Amino acid sequence: MSSFKGKVAIIGIGEVPTGKFPERPCLQNGIEAARMAILDAGINKDEIDVVMPTGVFSDGVLNVQLVAGKMVEELGLQRKAKANLQVFSGGSSSSTMLMTACSLVAGGHARMVLCVQCDKVGTIPTQQMIDMFTFSGDPEWEDPYGFFAVANGGLVATRYMHETRTTAEQLASVVVSMRKWAALNPNAMLRRELTIDEILASKMIATPLTTKEANVFADGGAAFIVANAAIAMQVCRTPVYPLGFGSRVTHYSLSQCTNLLDLGYAESGKEAFEMAGINATDVDIVEFYDAYPVYPLLSLEGLGFCKKGEAGAFVQAGNTWPGGELPMTTNGGMLGQGHTAAGGGIAILVEAVRQLMGKAGERQVKGARIAVETSHGGTFMDSHVCVLGTVLP
């Protein structure tokens, strides 16, 4: 596979606080995030030649507006932008946007691509939100049996715990880790640290998951700018280079996944690490997609950071916490920062870039030079792995 290693860089990031903000219009989240990314990159906004908004779950009308170029007008990029195109794959939109933007830049079709997301799923009443996200199941083969989003995390965790003998305490320790990072993140919604006992004592939702082991929907917006590497070196003091990509789509319906413990990492991880020319021991931080606590455990094992069945003990021992050997999902993930629909994954990608740029404030991991970031869309239909670095090897 041809590599865009060395040809592209991320030069700016933006993010509004994640939470419940009934007074803040959905589109405002996107405009604010885009402006912050432009200011962060220190560029003249008129240099942006492709605008790439991802999908909005909470507002179908706004979604169509963004498809039709609303963000181009909001940012005054008429006759500057060559294309306004939506790239959307649910939770993995972070990766599919980055992959598309890098391809456009490396192929010479764009110089600077603005990737932007906004949503407002936090201020919809809880029951309406649950019903809205029920569509993640198939209407003919899954919804008649009462399938819904949290059941996804429960079904995978049940099989994982059955095969690996991972304990409920170990599963809950993923949330402990996420909340410790969220406590240090001013953009996070759930900033109170939790103990394993508190997590296991909260109301059961879908076995083995309790309330505290399910992500919480939130309003938010995030953006990042991808540029030609030669331009990046001129305009940006701390460009972050995508060094390797790998990805696989493993299923559509969760029921059709024949191995729930293998999210496709054997292929996607190998491709990403090979393209980047690294192995797991070279990695300083991992920014893993969560949503539910079983997924970071599968990522730690699938990408070779832990042996099968050992990730739970690894997390419980504090290795992924602030100060730990392998800082993981340092924004607190969707279990700590909050889940802004397609933005949950974008917040994680933005955090990976923020850490590598050295802009993570109180939770900055000193000397972070290589990060591995993941994302998943739908009912974990796909696995995307991206290696990001501060220098070109």
Partner 1 sequence: MSAYVKPLPSPSSYSFPFWEGCKRHELLIQHCKNCGANIFYPKLYCSICLSPNMEWIRVSGRGRIYTFTIVYGYAPTAFTQDIPYVISVVKLDEGVQLMSNIVECEPSQLRCDMRVEVVFDDVTPEITLPRFRPIKNH
Q: List interacting residues with partner 1 (CB under 8 A).
A: 127, 130-131, 134, 137-148, 150-151, 154-156, 158-159, 162, 203-207, 209, 211, 214, 253-256, 258, 260
- The whole-angstrom separation of Cα 94 and Cα 373 is 10
Nearer to partner 1, 86 or 123 (CB): 123
Nearer to partner 1, 139 or 367 (CB): 139
Nearer to partner 1, 215 or 355 (CB): 215
Nearer to partner 1, 85 or 130 (CB): 130
Minimal distance, residue 156 CB to partner 1, in Å: 7
Minimal distance, residue 147 CB to partner 1, in Å: 6
Nearer to partner 1, 72 or 189 (CB): 189
Minimal distance, residue 306 CB to partner 1, in Å: 21
Minimal distance, residue 308 CB to partner 1, in Å: 16
2: amino acid identity, one letter? S
Minimal distance, residue 160 CB to partner 1, in Å: 9
